[in-house]
Amino acid sequence: MDHDQFFKKLMHLFLRDFFEIFFPAWVNRFRFDQVEWVEQEIFPDPPRGEKLVVDVLAKLPVIPADPPRENEPRESVALVLIETEGSTRLADFRQRMYDYTTGAGDKLGLDVLPVAIFLNLRMEGRNTDVFERWFWERRILTFEYDYVALPGLRAEDYAHHPNPLAAAWSTLMNMERDRRALAAVEAMDVIAASPLDIERKHLLLDFIQSYAPLEETQKRDLNELLIDPKRERTLAMKRLWSEEMKEEGVQQGMQQGMQQGTLLTQRRIAERLCRTKFPELPDDKLQNRLGRLSGEELEQLTVRILSATTAAEIGFDE
């Protein structure tokens, strides 16, 4: 699974839900129905600065308070930056979080609310973390960001939350080991019974299947629990998801096969033209050159061969 793309899609579909669960005080400060997803690449030091790719960057209109709150955003819109971290190297992440936040804010000229999601760190569950820089005893920089550390939260506090996203994410939270299989099935029950559309249901199911820390014996227990007749709806949802995933895999395989077949055909055509027009070209040199070219480059080479009078004109000048 492409971790970054998965969570990008998850946040695109569940951004408001995420705030409702973990940051309810902020829900009424943004117009989530007017979200604009921003290009994720930021350049903190152009033109030679390192390119940084942000997981999720959303531009949201701000709902002004009456009377205005203290330290209101400077503009009528603000940025929400969400980074998902699967490793346990917190020091590196803090630096990156600071770079992303300042880079995005400087590039777009907007205030940024940075939020981190930790998949494997317990931390304090839900709190703020700090990145600091010191010059001897002098602290010259303090940067804070909010975080949600799923393993540090109590699963029982979220498993029966009315929001299905909370039920799905509770499978990564702190619970007794022998409850993990049942917790995963109960989360699936909540998702199956929810009014979510099929895309959102399958995405949450995909999250449980891919990220819930289940051992092989627990996975077998999960499948046995799903056979219960009372879970007919949940089992049907899972079967439909499995069939769609299988069909998607077959289609991707066919598409890749077609692309590879097209590339092979282009290479053979270019090779045949080269051998016909320039028979003096060494076989190994020709094979190596053609083997490194993409489909578009092979197409361009084929056009050049037709008008070329020497091998040097098509790049064989050594």
Total domains in the chain come to 2
Residue 47 placed within a domain: yes
Residue 22 placed within a domain: yes
What span, in angstroms and rounded, lies between the C-alpha atoms of 95 and 99? 6
Residues 269 and 128 placed together within one structural domain of the fold: no
Residues 137 and 30 placed together within one structural domain of the fold: yes
Helical ranges in 176-294 per DSSP H? 180-193, 198-211, 216-226, 232-277, 283-291
Domain boundary at 153, 169, 203, which?
Answer: 153
Residue 263 placed within a domain: yes
What span, in angstroms and rounded, lies between the C-alpha atoms of 80 and 38? 10
**pLDDT at res. 275:** 79
Residues 111 and 256 placed together within one structural domain of the fold: no
Mean pLDDT of the chain: 85
Domain boundary at 153, 179, 207, which?
Answer: 153
Residues 18 and 140 placed together within one structural domain of the fold: yes
Please state the pTM of the whole predicted model: 0.73
**pLDDT at res. 257:** 45
- How far is CA 264 from each of CA 292, 294, 295, rounded to the nearest angstrom? 12, 10, 9
What span, in angstroms and rounded, lies between the C-alpha atoms of 120 and 86? 6
Least confident of 37-46, 61-70, 158-167, 207-216: 37-46
HSE, side-chain direction, 13 A CA sphere, residue 50: 6
Residue 177 placed within a domain: no
Q: What is the pLDDT of residues 236-286, one digit of tens each?
A: 877 776 666 555 544 444 355 445 556 777 787 778 778 787 888 888 778
Instruction: Please check whether residue 43 is in contact with residue 49, taking contact to mean a CB–CB distance below 8 angstroms.
Output: yes
Residue with tokens 């973390």: 129
Residue 72 placed within a domain: yes
Residue 42 placed within a domain: yes
Residues 148 and 4 placed together within one structural domain of the fold: yes
What span, in angstroms and rounded, lies between the C-alpha atoms of 37 and 13? 11
User: Exposure of 90 by Cβ count < 10 A (0-12 exposed, 13-18 middle, 19+ buried)?
Assistant: middle
Number of H helices and number of E strands within the chain?
9, 8
Domain boundary at 97, 129, 153, which?
Answer: 153
What span, in angstroms and rounded, lies between the C-alpha atoms of 251 and 75? 46
Instruction: Please check whether residue 255 is in contact with residue 288, taking contact to mean a CB–CB distance below 8 angstroms.
Output: no
Residues 253 and 146 placed together within one structural domain of the fold: no
Structure tokens that stand for 210 in this block: 């891919």
Q: What is the pLDDT of residues 12-28, one digit of tens each?
A: 999 999 999 999 999 99
Residues 2 and 142 placed together within one structural domain of the fold: yes
User: Could you tell me the residue range of the domain that residue 19 belongs to?
Assistant: 1-153
E-assigned strand segments in 86-137: 112-118, 126-135
Residues 253 and 120 placed together within one structural domain of the fold: no
Residue 189 placed within a domain: no
Residues 13 and 134 placed together within one structural domain of the fold: yes
Residues 126 and 273 placed together within one structural domain of the fold: no
User: What does residue 139 show for φ and ψ, rounded to 5 degrees?
Assistant: -85, 115
Residue 10 placed within a domain: yes
Amino acid identity for residue 128 in this structure: T
Handedness of CA 106, 108, 113, 117 (dihedral sign): negative
Residues 5 and 148 placed together within one structural domain of the fold: yes
What span, in angstroms and rounded, lies between the C-alpha atoms of 173 and 119? 9
- Cis, peptide link before residue 47, omega less than 30° from 0: yes
Residues 1 and 102 placed together within one structural domain of the fold: yes
